[in-house]
Structure 1
Amino acid sequence: MATPIRPFHFPASVCRAALRRIESRSCSSSSSGFTAFTSRPTRSPTTLQPTLRGCTRGHVHVRSLHTTPSRRTTVGHNRERVPDEAPTTDFERMDMLGQTPAPATSIDVCMYDGFGLNSGVKILDGNGALLVNGEAFIWRPWRDGKKLLNHKGQWDVPAEAFGLFDLVWPRPDLLILGLGREIRPLSPDMRKVISSLGMRVEVLDTRNAASQFNMLATERGVNNVAAALIPIGWREGVGCV
């Protein structure tokens, strides 16, 4: 027959000693809601500081974390530099034509009855200026009675007014016309004359024509750009008086 199993009872003194040992090793419940058992006391979680841990030559070092951005930029080991200042733009250095000398025939001033050139030469007395290949010529393209317009109000002068270009080779590829204080349309015959010389034409008032010539002659050279200018004081049928 099987022997019945009898319950075994520890003496009360043994139970009390074991309970004391367990209580001495237990920790109070943490703020996270669980109880941890450890052989060493632990800090309260509220006293911990965020740290970075690393090893340098076998030694452990602790460095605090910074949550705010630093004003300095770290470069390499233990080296810092201040960020560069915001870049600035030097517009004078960007002017590619700033160091290029202006041509001697560039227009310094447009006067009522003539022009002042960069070379110091002045064209006065109501005469126009013809600027070709770095040379300046007095230009009088009007007919008798000082007429520059046809009966339709179009700018129309004799073909002989551009006869100088028959003597120039190679010819400029652009002719800038300054027609006085106002812009007038060119007559079809006038456009044919200029086109037959192999030149393109740009029609402006005299002030803008002079400015355009100065810029293009400096940029492209006086051999590629020519100008024919009427004084800003010109009056049809009267001239500059």
Structure 2
Amino acid sequence: MAARQRAAALPTLMRALRKEAPPRHHISLPSLRRAFSLYDQINIITEVPEDQLRFKEFDDTGFKVNGVRYEGSILCVGNLLMSWKPKKFSDITPESLSIFKTVRPIPEILVLGCGKYIQPVNPELRSFIRSTGMKLEVVDSRNAASTYNILNEEGRIVAAALIPHGVTS
């Protein structure tokens, strides 16, 4: 008798399996693009030399580099770090970047940190940077610090000119 019940249950099971499953509501997965952005301070290189500059933190008035706090704008060329005169993006001129006329080797890229928001670079400044042989990357200061870290860790000759993140114009 149990065998007959199992035999009768099998066709019922088969019919149930053939029926379409109820439609599911499709929910898009959140974008993971931001989670894997190079600008979100992901350190993919673990062996960083002690003498290499590395931005650790930033706030509205300055930066923390290798455990030392720097107020105001800064200029980094390779592993050389110095205070920089411009207080806002409009203060950046070819004269404020004149160190690149004498420094050797010339960095392959200058990462320009504009403060809180990306700013358009005037043609005179762009022309000056191009005349030195450098490429120019213009981003907000948070992303500029992260980009500098990544390029410097890769062993590339890079420079960064950064206005504090709190500056908006």
Q: Which residue number corresponds to residue 148 of structure 1?
A: 89
Query: In the alignment, what sits opposite 1:111?
Result: 59
d(CA) in 2 for partners of 1:96 and 1:157? 32
Match of 1:24 in 2: none
> Which residue type is aligned with residue 226 of structure 1?
A
Structure 1 unmatched ranges of 5 or more: 1-94, 150-155, 237-241
Instruction: Please give the residue correspondences for 1:4-153 in structure 2 after superposition, counting only pairs within 5 Å.
Output: 97-101=45-49, 104-118=52-66, 120-124=67-71, 127-142=72-87, 148-149=89-90
1:135 offset after TM fit, Å? Answer: 0.8
**Alignment check: 8 A CA contact 2:78 2:152 kept:** no
TM-score, normalising length: structure 1: 0.49
Q: Is the 8 A contact 1:103 1:218 kept in 2?
A: no
Q: How many residues align?
A: 127
- For residues 108 and 188 of structure 1, do their structure 2 counterparts lie closer, same or farther at Cα, with a shift above 3 Å needed? same
1:172 is matched with which residue? 107
**Alignment CA distance shift 1:148-1:215 (3 Å):** closer
CA distance in 2 between partners of 1:121 and 1:96 (Å): 23
Whichever structure has more helix as a proportion of its residues is 2
Taking only the aligned residue pairs, the percentage that are identical comes to 38
- Identify the structure with bigger relative contact order (alpha carbons < 8 Å, sequence gap 6+): 2
- What residue in structure 2 maps to residue 87 of structure 1? none
Q: TM-score, normalised by structure 2?
A: 0.68
- Aligned-pair RMSD on alpha carbons? 2.0
Indicate which of 111, 128, 137 corresponds to 1:202.
137
Residue 226 (structure 1) aligns with: 159
Structure 2: runs of 5+ lacking an equivalent: 1-42
Return the letter of the residue paired with 2:89. Answer: L
